[in-house]
Amino acid sequence: MMLNNRPEPYYFIMDTGAGMSAVEEKVAEELGLPTIGKTELAGTAGVLNVPIKQFDSVSPRRRGWPVSILTHHGLLATTQDLSAFRVPIPAPFEAGLLGNDYLRHFVVEVDFLPPNVQLSRPYGYIPAGVNPDKFLPFTLDRAKIMRVKAKLDGWMDVELRVDSGAGTLTSVMWPYVNITTSTWKQLCEKNPGYSVTGTIGAKGMGGRVELQVAKIASLDLGPLHFDLPSVVIQPEQGIFASPHAVGFISLNLFEPGGWVTFDYPAGRIYVP
């Protein structure tokens, strides 16, 4: 990304699980970004009170040059310590998270092998290369977080956030879905034979969490069906302490298909 017309490249994570973009504290200081307020951020492990900064301009780069048609002026961003994130190429650090406040204006095409992200302005037609009948409808909730409808075990209807910023849990058998503690309890009431098969530690916004892992019978997401998926059970802390919290899926669920396209204006996630 090009920030405030500075020539050096800055690397951002595309984060469909963030309603507001974020900037690393060191980058905000380096650019002298003005503080225009504060806000509370509820993460997986706790709640943080963080400053809100404002960019003059944010532009994706193509072959080293800014793409003017994709430039956003006056983008707001929370200030966070992103030192734990690393981009998969030689770079000093992760400069920020590109959230739905920016992404919602575009069609976002993600290829997994080789990794590539392409953003384009919507022109009112079906994105090239997709099956127009094979998609997951999605909405943005009040916090601008992407949500889809899913069915667990063929009977339980749930909403799930789509969080491309969530890291892949390599120790959990694919496919997997993160669910709330209350959802897990309801599944166990229906099927008393369910039990926790393991525990893993993870670092989230606000600290570390201990996550329980189990197996359920099935997961359905629009045209996608998964037998015997793993479930990662989020403890009731941070954002998951709310009775209105929902679980989430991440990009790893789509990765075997080779690509996924987020058509924000149409509210559709196209899949192979």
CATH class of 135-270: mainly beta
SS3 assignment, position 27: helix
Mean pLDDT of 130-134: 95
Q: Report pLDDT for 170.
A: 82
Beta pairing, strands 76-80 & 21-24: parallel
SS3 assignment, position 152: strand
- pLDDT confidence band for 91 (50 / 70 / 90): low
Cα angle vertex 164, ends 256, 13, to 5°?
115
Q: Report pLDDT for 89.
A: 61
Placement of tokens 């990794």 in the chain? 115
Mean pLDDT of 98-124: 92
Mean pLDDT of 129-138: 95
CA distance 160 to 147: 5
Q: Which CATH number fits domain 2-103: 3.40.630.30, 1.10.3720.10, 1.20.140.10, 2.40.70.10?
A: 2.40.70.10
Nearest CA to 151 out of 212, 228, 225 is that of 225
Which helix (H) or strand (E) element contains residue 204? strand 198-204
CA distance 94 to 233: 28
More confident residue, 94 or 261: 261
Mean pLDDT of 244-262: 95
Placement of tokens 């969080």 in the chain? 163
Q: Report pLDDT for 92.
A: 64
Q: Report pLDDT for 171.
A: 86
Q: Report pLDDT for 87.
A: 60
- pLDDT confidence band for 241 (50 / 70 / 90): confident
Output phi, psi for 190, to 5 deg.
Answer: -75, -35
Mean pLDDT of 88-110: 86
Enumerate the CATH 2.40.70.10 domain ranges in the chain, comma separated.
2-103, 135-270
Q: In this structure, is the dihedral angle defined by the CA atoms of residues 122, 133, 225 and 111, taken in order, positive or negative?
A: negative
Specify the pTM.
Answer: 0.92
The answer on pLDDT for 184 being more than 90 is yes
The answer on pLDDT for 112 being more than 90 is yes
The answer on pLDDT for 206 being more than 70 is no
Beta pairing partners, 234 = 180
